[in-house]
Structure 1
Amino acid sequence: MSALPSTHDPDQRKRLMAAGIGNFMEWFDFAIYGFFATAIGANFFPSSSPTASLLSTLAVYGVAFLMRPVGGMVIGAIGDRRGRRFALMLSVVSMGVGTAMIAILPPYTAIGVAAPILLVLLRCVQGFSAGGEWTGSAAFLVESAPAHRRGLTASVIPTTAALAVSVGAGVALLVETTVPAAAIVSWGWRLPFLAAFPLTLAGLYLRVKLDDTEVFRAIQARGAVSDTPIRAVAQTQRRSIAISFGLSAITVLGFYYIATYVMTFLITTGEMKRFPALTVVAIGAVIYAGLCLMMGAWSDRVGRRPVSLLGGAGLAVCASRPSF
């Protein structure tokens, strides 16, 4: 964790570690589904067409994204009522349990149509907790950070998410180079999902030892904790909500391109083998993580608006395809 913002405050370092490691675990669990989409499709969506099986698996991957804003609102509201610490513990436990249950979920050949239905439900749990994790961790870190280091501190969240994707790709490479191909389809794909249980325990242990932020404790002391935080925000912060949605839609585009689509594109369209494709994803995610820290630190110096505008412009330029 040496890449995290340095501080002489031991409590701040503990908060960074708890939020960063827990967030890493959450996104490792979330990302490995995509790296084993072919094997998962063979187990839960058997079809005479490998393409149809893969598309069904990726569709279930997409279902989790529909649950992310729901998780962000619900767990965020819980954090506003019960505290950031409780919200962080809830998100890490729900993600760990959902991922571990995928690891032991019987295939279609064993329980029939119940298998894909349960897989969809468990992916919904993962998406719900992932949305709550990003929301809760960001609020916790920003409220705990010194005013002049909020950008750098908040960058720990996307940084650890990107590192989780990189490590997930590395784990997929390890499994594919040590487990026979037939065994990967039958049981090898389950190994990274089983790692969710000890990771969950580690993340929960770190978060149980946290104290709530001074900001939340001050709100409690004033008796100003809202019983309906979603309604209160919707009534008073509509413009801020709209801006936040717009910025999020732009900024996460690059991350999800690396984390979800690029490997499928490299293999199916670019006709690249899985090993080099996974290597590209792992390296790309590490570069993304480093840039998150750099941009977070830069935003503390020049402001959030210039950095956001630069990022949006960069995505527009990189996404455009030259006609020559």
Structure 2
Amino acid sequence: MPTSDVSTPPVHVTESAARRRAIYAGVIGNFIEWYDFGLYGFFAVTISVLFFPASDPTAALLSTFAVFALGFLIRPLGAFVFGWIGDRIGRRASLLAAVILMSLSTVLLGLLPTYASIGVWATVLLVALRMFQGLSAGGEYAGATIYVVEHAPRGWRGRYGSLSPAAVGVGTATAAVVSLIVTSSLTEADLSSWGWRIPFLLSGPLGVIAIILRMRIEESPEFQAVRDSGQVESAPLAEGFRVAKKSMATVFGWNMLNGVSFYMLTGFTVAYMMKVSELTYTASLSALAVALLFYTCVSPFYGLCVDKLSRRQVAMFSSLGMAAFAPLAFFLLQQQTFASSLLALMGIAFFAAGVTSIVAVSMVDLFPARIRFSAGAVPYQISIAVFGGTAPYVATWLGGTSVELAPGYYLALISLIAASVAWFGFKGVDENTNAELIARSAEGVEQ
């Protein structure tokens, strides 16, 4: 008697219906994942008081950002685990497990007792839940992006890929708006007592919706072809290191900028605007929400450019543009006006959207389907962990030095490094010209 397999699609649907379901399931998963993950950064100040009591508020805030970084350091393990599931069992199984883990972890965080209630155990449990969130995030973005792009019609990979960063922008912006509504509607005492929990608890019903959608999707056509041909890899990551080291290094190098730019924007700028720009929490969070919605709107534009131009052209524009704008952005933030701060954030968001648009297609363009999830997700998440997870901490430390624009100079330096990676790593790589590269990888020829 046949046994049930979570990777087996429940029903057969037409190709167009399968694409629609793939888009919905991938987009909502990324939306929820970054709604959940973004909340921690937006409530950093509150969390620092409730879980890291200290006589020095800056020290407490730095401890909070250190735990923020810890959630990233576990991501490579999540990429390995969920990548193995995605390349061995199927994309569908991996995506379903990832969104369940993230939603459950976030709801539990919203129920967590504070330091005043259970002492140091509150901090320990907070760290544990952040690690589970990081484990889930390690497989979500790469997996959902790969799954959606694998459903794209020929010549549409960039546009399909742009849906992932757009969903991330909407999810993070929604977290900002919900946080803003909660904080502006409650007194400081109520916020610290119970109000901060509401945005985290909302992850529950959102997660249920995502789980239902992902239970109804079919396997991606490219992985199904791998399975049908009997080419499923038993150790996809090891095979990636054997035949695709250059591509993995390219993903790692490019994502330095992706991690620093996006997480400096979402995990650092609110606290920075409150301290340096002397804006209220409401004004700071409002500026970030607008910038994230702008990020969402320009992502499809970049997706179209990726399809119509070369990957390298879009990568060079966004990285060099970020390098030039980053110091100016922090100069604008120091002008202590809402308009200048908003302009600074929107500028960073504009170039960050271009950076992320390349991420979406590179993990498909650079690797054959049989190792794609593992070989793409692991270097992506290692880079995000090292550079993205530490971005708020590093930026906070640099912001306290005598060099006023130090955080901007750091972002500019990372941008220039990423530009050099793009120049060499994306040369000749696009949907139409990378057939030889993929063929060589399939034959086991080292890049």
TM bracket, shorter-chain basis: over 0.9
- 5 Å matches for 1:107-256? 107-256=114-263
Structure 1: tracts of 5 or more residues without a match: 1-7
- 2:408 counterpart residue number: none
SS of aligned partner of 1:144: coil
- Greater than 4 Å deviation, 4+ residue runs: 321-324
Could you list the per-position Cα deviations for residues 220-271 of structure 1 after superposition, in whole angstroms to 9, with x for gaps in the alignment? 1111111111111011100000011111112343322221111111111211
- Separation in structure 1 between the aligned mates of residue 96 and residue 269 of structure 2, nearest angstrom: 32
| Contact kept in structure 2, 1:140 and 1:213, CA below 8 Å | yes
- Equivalent residue number for residue 50 of structure 2: 43
Q: Percent identity?
A: 36
Give CA-to-partner distance per residue, 1:272-295, whole Å, 9 cap, x none. 111110011000101111121110
Cα distance, 1:248–1:189 mapped onto 2, change above 3 Å: same
List per-residue Cα deviations over 1:131-187 (Å, max 9, x = no partner). 210111011011111121101101111111011111111111100121211111111
Q: C-alpha separation between the residues in 2 aligned to 1:234 and 1:320? A: 37
2:78–2:137 contact (8 Å) kept in structure 1: yes
Q: How does 1:295-314 map to 2 (within 5 A)?
A: 295-314=302-321
Paired residue type of 1:146: P
1:14-93 correspondence to structure 2 within 5 Å: 14-93=21-100
Deviation at 1:197, TM superposition (A): 0.9
Cα contact 2:86–2:143 (8 A) shared by 1: yes
Q: With structure 2 as the length reference, what TM-score do the two structures score? A: 0.69
2:285 to 267, 278, 281: 278
Which stretch of structure 1 is more off in the superposition, 174-183 or 234-243? 174-183
Tell me the distance in 2 between the aligned counterparts of 1:83 and 1:289.
Answer: 29
Structure 2 counterpart SS, 1:320? helix
Q: CA deviation at 1:117?
A: 1.0
Residue pair 1:162, 1:255 contacting (<8 A) in 2 also: no
Alpha-carbon displacement from aligned partner over 1:85-110 (angstroms, at most 9, x marks no partner): 00110110110111111111111122
Q: Quick one: distance in 2 between partners of 1:291 and 1:251?
A: 16
Whole-Å separation in 2 of the counterparts to 1:130 and 1:279:
25
Larger radius of gyration: 2
Retained in 2: the 8 A contact 1:79–1:136? Answer: yes
Tell me if the contact between 2:163 and 2:300 (Cα under 8 Å) persists in the aligned partners: yes
Assess if the C-alpha contact under 8 Å between 2:18 and 2:218 holds in 1: no
- List per-residue Cα deviations over 1:179-209 (Å, max 9, x = no partner): 2111111111110000111111110000000
Matched letter for residue 115 of structure 1: A
Give the Cα separation in 2 of the matches to 1:182 and 1:205.
37
Q: How many residues of Structure 1 are paired with residues of Structure 2 in the alignment?
A: 317
SS at match of 2:262: helix
Shift of 1:9: 2.2
- Supply the RMSD in Å over aligned alpha carbons: 1.6
C-alpha distance in 2 between matches for 1:45 and 1:12:
46
How far has the Cα of 1:38 moved from its partner?
1.6
Deviations 1:68-92 (A, max 9, x none): 2332232112100110000110110
